[in-house]
Structure 1
Amino acid sequence: MNLTMYTDYSLRVLIYLGSRKGKIVTITEIAQYYRVSRNHLVKVVHGLGKNGFIETIRGKGGGMQLKGDPRQITIGEVVRKTEPNFHIVECFDENNKRCILHSACGLKSVLAEANRAFLEVLDRYTLDRFLQDPEAMKDLWSQVGHGQWQV
């Protein structure tokens, strides 16, 4: 199973916001912290807002914050809502029936079971387990040369 960069960045944004415990954070701040493209994060943040994971605040002093309790957000839920599909092989896509084994293949059911198991494991973990201590974040922030950390 290979997660998209979109899902990876979505998880990073949620971890960052959860670690900041209700503070209003900007996309630029997160992009600098993780050293990733701000443009990519704009799309990610929009999707996280649409899916109800974050609250965005417009205007001067605006930004975003985590919406809800990190103990209630499962990693599995985030992955399901951010991955475009779980077609780990072409026959998982109902619109793609090019494989000649499609109707008689036993491998498809095994791969489907593995896919379900993958998501079941992710469902056992909530966001709070991965939140970082603000002091550790402060140390990392200064190590990557971003100046003063606002605790």
Structure 2
Amino acid sequence: MRLKKYTDYALRVLIYTASKPGEELSSKKEISEVFHISLNHLAKIVHELQKEGYVETVRGRSGGIRLAKDPEDINIGAVVRLMEDDFQMFECFSCETDYCVISPACKLKRVVGKALREFLRVLDAYTLADILENKDELKDLMGID
């Protein structure tokens, strides 16, 4: 399974903003530069995260973004589900487009479905706070003072 870059970048935005001290704001420009993400792409991601209440934006000259929730309240599995729009790993995962002749007897769909559920179950066991256990090392790598 491969997650979209959109999901990867959303998690990076959350890690970056959570690594800032206190209520310090992060600019989209600095996040864009640290992770080499286009500003337009990043703006869409931030908008989605804001819409769902994960980050808040502050307008104006000294504006930026910051977490809207405590890292302990941001579940990694929930963020991945939000950002990914399609977990249909095979054609047979969809009733509308399943034209596979072996689908009625095939056990693979069940096996892959179980693997997907386990994958998401593991992600559900972690919060952003868990991901930030090595916050000082992450801050150094991202150039945050």
Q: Same fold (TM over 0.5)?
A: yes
Task: Check if 1:26 corresponds to 2:30.
Answer: no
Task: Check if 1:49 corresponds to 2:50.
Answer: yes
In structure 2, the residue matched to 1:93 is 94
Distance 1:7 1:135 in 2: 22
Q: Aligned residues, how many? A: 143
Q: Which amino acid aligns with 1:55?
A: E
Distance 1:135 1:114 in 2: 32
Q: Which amino acid aligns with 2:135?
A: D
Q: Which runs of 5+ in 1 are unaligned?
A: 142-148
Q: Which amino acid aligns with 1:100?
A: V
Of 39-48 and 87-96, the range deviating more from structure 2: 87-96
Residue by residue, what CA displacement relative to the aligned partner does 1:123-146 show, whole Å, maximum 9, x if unpaired?
1111012225357524652xxxxx
Following superposition, the deviation at residue 110 of structure 1 comes to: 1.1
Following superposition, the deviation at residue 76 of structure 1 comes to: 0.5
Following superposition, the deviation at residue 115 of structure 1 comes to: 0.4
Q: Which amino acid aligns with 2:2?
A: N
In structure 2, the residue matched to 1:107 is 108
User: What are the equivalent positions in structure 2 for 1:1-151 lying under 5 Å apart?
Assistant: 1-21=1-21, 22-131=23-132, 133-134=135-136, 137-138=139-140, 140-141=142-143, 151=145
Q: Which amino acid aligns with 1:74?
A: N
Of 130-139 and 49-58, the range deviating more from structure 2: 130-139
Secondary structure at the aligned position of 1:71 is classed as helix
In structure 2, the residue matched to 1:145 is none
CA RMSD, 1 decimal: 1.8
In structure 2, the residue matched to 1:146 is none
